[in-house]
Amino acid sequence: MTSAPITRLSISRPDDWHLHLRDGAMLRAVLPETARHFARALVMPNLVPPVVTAAQAGAYRDRILAALPEGAAFQPLMTLYLTEETDPADVARAHAQGIATAVKLYPAGATTNAASGVRDFDKVRPVLERMAEIGMPLCVHGEVTDPAVDIFDREAVFIDRVLKPIRRKVPGLRIVMEHVTTEDAVDFVRDTHKDLAATITTHHLIINRNHILAGGIRPHFYCLPVAKREKHRIALVQAAVSGDPRFFLGTDSAPHTDANKLLPCGCAGIFSATNTLSCLAEVFDAAGRLKDLEAFVSINGAKFYGLPRSDRKLTLVKGAPVAYPPQIETGDGPVTTFDPGFPLHWRVEA
């Protein structure tokens, strides 16, 4: 007997474990897009200047809370931007006082606003050791910046050159490899049984490098780490739908105005907050794994971060293709919404 296809799915309210909200007018425009569907989000600290100290994270959290739409029950979870000057005591205080959930490691120059990131990983060892003691996770942008390494290889090389040494030198440090894009990273996480997890973005489950480069260059698909070849996308989908608790959603929704994307040297970042859950339902449905969507978006990440899952629900309903705005207006100019390239039949019930 074949069961009837699922057309309605009620799950615990999702969390986004990797999100860029920016500040000011951009924050006010993009925050409602996430707050509408998500219970919590881990907010990235790569502002200008970056969110380095507990005091800065607390002030940024206050600005986010102040920008929330009336009545929204959304909780921002904050990260601290790791620099070579970061004070281990300040990090421990931020964690103890519930101001910061995690620390973010950007290799210096790896991506947008990563100039103050880490060059010499031994310099941050005292911070990492303190974090291991107190059980505070490190979120890692896993790409080397060595110009001699091909951009499509930078994640795989990072695993050998940086991640493995950190894990060896600071045992017990809990690490999240953010926005993994390769089969290499998926295999590394799968083969490592302790203190290591990975987030996967919505867009990396949907696009490969052809989408960016074949038949014309598409700046709105450019992000970092850049999407890789199809076999890697397939490995990411397999990891996401597997139910394996070490893989969970971090959208890396990263708004840039169209003016800043459509330049001779455009910014990296894909804005997917608006239609992320419809996109993900489509991916899991196509894989025949709708029943595993909740683990990926609502359960695995909360478990890793030691938080209860949301007690609120979110319902997805399948029907005629849903319309979503191709752009959202912000005080800084329009921001283009991620276009998955196929119709989205799953809508979030209001």
Residues touching Zn ion: how many (CB under 5 A)? 1
For residue 282 the two structure tokens come to 């489509």
Q: Is 252 assigned a catalytic role?
A: yes
Q: Which entry of Zn ion, ligand DOR, none binds 268, CB below 5 to 8 A by partner kind? A: ligand DOR
Question: Contact with Zn ion (CB under 5 A): which of 15, 252, 282, 294?
Answer: 252
Catalytic residue among 16, 184, 252, 339: 252
Closest CA to 124 of 107, 112, 144, 147: 107
Q: Which entry of ligand DOR, Zn ion, none binds 269, CB below 5 to 8 A by partner kind? A: ligand DOR
Q: Indicate the SS3 state at residue 347.
A: strand
Q: Shortest approach of Zn ion to residue 245 CB, angstroms?
A: 22
Q: Which entry of Zn ion, ligand DOR, none binds 46, CB below 5 to 8 A by partner kind? A: ligand DOR
- Residue 141 lies near ligand DOR (rule: CB under 6 A): yes
Identity of the residue, 223 or 302, whose beta carbon is nearer to ligand DOR in the bound complex? 223
Q: How far is CA 255 from CA 30, 251, 313, in A?
A: 8, 12, 27
156 CB burial (10 A radius; 0-12, 13-18, 19+): buried
Residues touching ligand DOR: how many (CB under 6 A)? 10
Q: Shortest approach of Zn ion to residue 177 CB, angstroms?
A: 12
In single-letter form, the type of residue at position 283 comes to V
Q: Shortest approach of ligand DOR to residue 243 CB, angstroms?
A: 27
- Other CB atoms closer than 10 Å to residue 343's CB: what's the count? 11
Cα separation, 282 vs 71, in Å, equals: 29
Give one DSSP letter per residue of 140-198, joined into a string. Answer: E------TTS-GGGHHHHHIIIIIHHHHHHSTT--EEE-S--SHHHHHHHHH--SSEEE
Q: Shortest approach of ligand DOR to residue 177 CB, angstroms?
A: 13
Q: Which of residues 219-238 bind ligand DOR (CB under 6 A)?
A: 223-224
Cα separation, 46 vs 27, in Å, equals: 13
Which residues, listed in sequence order, are joined to residue 249 by a DSSP beta bridge? 200
Q: What is the DSSP letter of 295?
A: I
Identity of the residue, 223 or 344, whose beta carbon is nearer to ligand DOR in the bound complex? 223
Q: Indicate the SS3 state at residue 280.
A: helix
Identity of the residue, 112 or 208, whose beta carbon is nearer to Zn ion in the bound complex? 112
- Residue 54 lies near ligand DOR (rule: CB under 6 A): no
Is residue 81 a contact partner of residue 46, using CB atoms and an 8 Å limit? yes
Stretch that binds Zn ion, among 86-94, 185-193, 215-223, 252-260 (CB under 5 A): 252-260
Closest CA to 44 of 67, 16, 70: 16
Binding characters for ligand DOR, 16-35, by CB under 6 A (x = yes) = ----x---------------
Binding characters for ligand DOR, 237-276, by CB under 6 A (x = yes) = -----------------x-------------xx-------
Residues of this chain that interact with ligand DOR (CB under 6 A) are: 20, 46, 111-112, 141, 223-224, 254, 268-269
Residues labelled as active-site residues: 252
Residues of this chain that interact with Zn ion (CB under 5 A) are: 252
